[in-house]
Structures are given as structure tokens and as C-alpha cells.
Structure 1
Amino acid sequence: MHNLLSNFRVDVNPSLYLKDPESSSLGQNIIKSSIDLIDLHGIEEFNFKKLAKEIGSTESSIYRYFENKQRLLLYLSSLYWGIMEFQLVMETNSMKAGMQRLMKAVEVLFSTPKLNYSSFKLDGAKLRHIINSEFVKAYHNKHVDEQNKAGYFSIYKRLVLRISELINDVNASYSYSNSLSSMIIEGSLNQYFLSEHFHSLTDCHSEDNLYLFYEDLLTKTLKQ
């Protein structure tokens, strides 16, 4: 098991970067420091000039890895969803198909990523906070169709289909498994965002509340 975890690598689409950031200490520092800065300032205020200053390097060195900050955000999103997918598979693989397995998957989605499932030494809580706040900006743009065609969201889409399969295991006759799966995953982000910024618009102000809300929703929705 230790060897499996130590060899794990998220299969981020290579079109998102010009040089693999995992291939050098500078690249790894770019990823770590970009997470720190985006978490602190948000993607709008983040730029490569600030990142270069943070890591004690030059903007041109960062541009050798990423074409722009949008590609960097897409990379971070793929990294996050890849870690969560691996974590979900590891923690549900030995479980019997059914509601308990589905709810374990939901529990994983609502948790902070375990970055021992990654070759990067990153702050999982900060990465989670970035995805909660910024992931919607990664695909709400005019280029989303061509980016989708290029496979930039393949890991995210694969995770949606994994959850959809778990839903079908609970109730094979349920007609909206993909829609429900998307809602679960988007909800894992949106409810946290609402709790942080629009407190009165959600009843879920903790991971436990969120789990119980989805347990109630899924049990009633998938009841045969």
C-alpha cells in the first residue's frame, strides 16, 4: 500500500502546462506558492508577477511552465479532483455496493483532500478553499466548449460518472443519476461557499450537517 501511494500521480492533461511542474523543484514551488497566493488574494488579484516575487524567481521562469493563470487554475482543479477521485476509490473499493458505499463517497467529497495521495507536498485545506471559491471560474468562460473538447475537465467528468455508478448501484431504475451526481459534487462546493459567505442561505454549517443533509436527500430520492 505504501508503494502504491508513493507512486501515485494525478494524470493532469499535459496540454494545461508547457513544462511539467512535478519535474523540478521550481515547478513544485510554483504550484505550492500559487495555492498560497490564490487562497489569500483570489484568482482575480493573483498574477505571475506576485508569484515570481513570492518564490524569488522571474515571471519568465513561470511562463516556461504555464501559459497564463487560467491554465494554472485548471491545473490546480485537475490536481484537486484527481486526488479526490483516488481517495474516493481507495476508501470505497472494498465496500459492498449500496447506500453505505455511496454515502462514504459523499463523505470523501466533503472532506479535505489527503495530500499523501499526491507527490506534491501541499496544504490540502488551502487547495480545498480555492476549489470552493474558484472552480466555477475555471469553466464559466467563453472557451469552455473548446477546453472541454481538449479534455481539460476529463478528471472532473470521470469523478461525476463514478458517483453516478454508485447511485445506480443503490437504485438502478433511477433516471437521473448523472444529474444527481453532478449536483452532489457541485453541492460539495456550493454549500461550503454559502456557509462562508451567505450564512442565512444554507442550513449546513459544518461537515457533519452537510453529510446529514445529503444522507436525508439521497435516502429519500433513491428509495425504491
Structure 2
Amino acid sequence: MEYSVHVRMNERLFLRNPEGSELGRRIVRQGILLFNEIGFEDATFKKLAERIGTKEASIYRYFENKHRLLVYLVTWYWQWLDFQLIFRTNNLIDPREKLERLLRLILLIDLGTPLANDIDLRALHNIVIHESSKAYLTHHVTEDNRQQLFKPYKDLCGRIADLILEYRPNYPYAQSRASSLIETAHYQAFFMQNLPSLTDFGVTDPDQPAGADKLLTFVRHLLFSSLDADPHCF
């Protein structure tokens, strides 16, 4: 089933709202495919312009540079994920079941549709795994944070922390566990594909059932072994 998700983006991310024109939407959607295919470092606005049949200058009317486009894409994903977390846990009562649903969502397991607003979610998910840390590992991170460019990620981590506290109200590290859960899942997925000696999984594609199951088992252990620990350890 296909569905539409309206994501309201921080206006500081762009010079002109890409969702307001056909060209802008193509820049975003083809930008995802380009970043996914050749990586952030090798991607250029010139290559993107050639891909969509426009001039390089046209892309600069929407985004100041490719880093801004990357932050836009990653931010869109965090907001989409936050919406999905609300939607997929709203009718659940058991706190553990909510956390189980969260883990599968982070790993994009049981995704009902590969597209949202014509955006290739699996390609975007792969970009998040490979490139998302480059959005904030910069010298201008403080200024970007002041402009609230990372607020959607913070909001998502805050929502996950609330689910953790619903399961274990006295857990003192909910916010840290929330952010580390996402980052660990993504780093382990990256290692599985590229640096398998840093995992216990070998060379495995995390998008395939076998790889996804192994990673799910690991992040489940990571989460619940800490939440179910002896409370005197806190």
C-alpha cells in the first residue's frame, strides 16, 4: 500500500522549498539515488544536474551546497521515522511490544512499502547508514544546531527515550540509550557490509532477511540486557 507523508522541513535547510516544484522534487529524489549509488564524497551537483537533465546552477537555487542537501535528506528520514514510530505503536499497550516494534522500524524490517511520496526509502535508509554522521561531524555543528537543523533527530530520540522509560521508569540513561541504539544499529549495518571483522556477523547484507535477523537479535540484546539489569546497578 502506498501512502503520502507530509514532512514539514526546517526552512533553513534550503534556499527554495524543493517540494514546491517538479524540478525541486526531482532534485531530492534523484539526489537520494545518486548519493546511494556513488556516495556523498563522489556526488556533485554537476553529476546530479546531468542525471536529471538540468543545469547545475538550477540545483544551487534550491540548496546552498551538497552538504545542505545531505542534511535535508537525513532530516526528512528522521521525521518520517518519528511519524512511523507514532503510527505503529499508537494502538499498542505493552511497553515491551512497543520497543520490539521500534527495533524493527529502525532496521526497516517488515516495511509495508518501499516508497513514500515517491521517495525510495530503502535507498534513503542506506544513505542514513553510510552518511548521516557527516551531517553533524563538521566544524559548524554548533551553528547548525543553533538553527535547529538537528531537532528532528532529537525529537525522535526523545520519543524513544519515553518508550524506554515506559518500559523501565527508573532507568537513568534513557536519552543516551535512545541515541546509542540508533547509532549502533547503523554502525553495525555498515560494518556488516564493509568491515565485517568489527562484527560477529561476517559479510552480510543487512537488507536481506538473514542479515536483518542477525542485527535485530543483536540490538534486541543490547537494549533489553541494559533495561532488564539489576536495578541496584543504577
Q: Does the alignment reach a TM-score above 0.5?
A: yes
- Mapping of 1:127-138 within 5 angstroms? 127-138=124-135
Q: Which runs of 5+ in 1 are unaligned?
A: none
Partner of 2:175: 178
Asked if structure 2 preserves the Cα contact closer than 8 Å seen for 1:87 and 1:117, the reply is no
Q: Which runs of 5+ in 2 are unaligned?
A: 205-210
Measured on the aligned residues, the alpha-carbon RMSD in Å equals: 1.9
Q: Identify the match of residue 209 of structure 1 among 191, 214, 219.
A: 214
Quick one: distance in 2 between partners of 1:114 and 1:155?
23
Asked if structure 1 preserves the Cα contact closer than 8 Å seen for 2:114 and 2:121, the reply is no
Displacement of 1:183 in angstroms is 0.7
Give TM-score, length-normalised by structure 1. Answer: 0.92
Asked if structure 1 preserves the Cα contact closer than 8 Å seen for 2:33 and 2:123, the reply is yes
Quick one: distance in 1 between partners of 2:123 and 2:224?
32
Displacement of 1:173 in angstroms is 0.7
Runs of 4+ with deviation above 6 angstroms: 112-117
Asked if structure 2 preserves the Cα contact closer than 8 Å seen for 1:115 and 1:122, the reply is no
Matching residue's letter, 2:214: N
Name the SS for the 1:106 alignment partner: helix
Point out the more displaced range, 214-223 or 33-42. Answer: 214-223
Displacement of 1:218 in angstroms is 2.2
The answer on 1:59 being equivalent to 2:56 is yes
Give TM-score, length-normalised by structure 2. Answer: 0.88
Q: Deviations over 1:90-125 (max 9, x none)?
A: 111111141121121111011167667843x02222
Partner of 1:103: 100
Q: Deviations over 1:159-218 (max 9, x none)?
A: 000100000011111110111101111112111101011112112441111111122222
Q: How many residues align?
A: 220
Matching residue's letter, 1:192: A
Q: Identify the match of residue 145 of structure 1 among 142, 157, 166.
A: 142
Matching residue's letter, 1:110: L
- Mapping of 1:163-174 within 5 angstroms? 163-174=160-171
Name the SS for the 2:119 alignment partner: coil
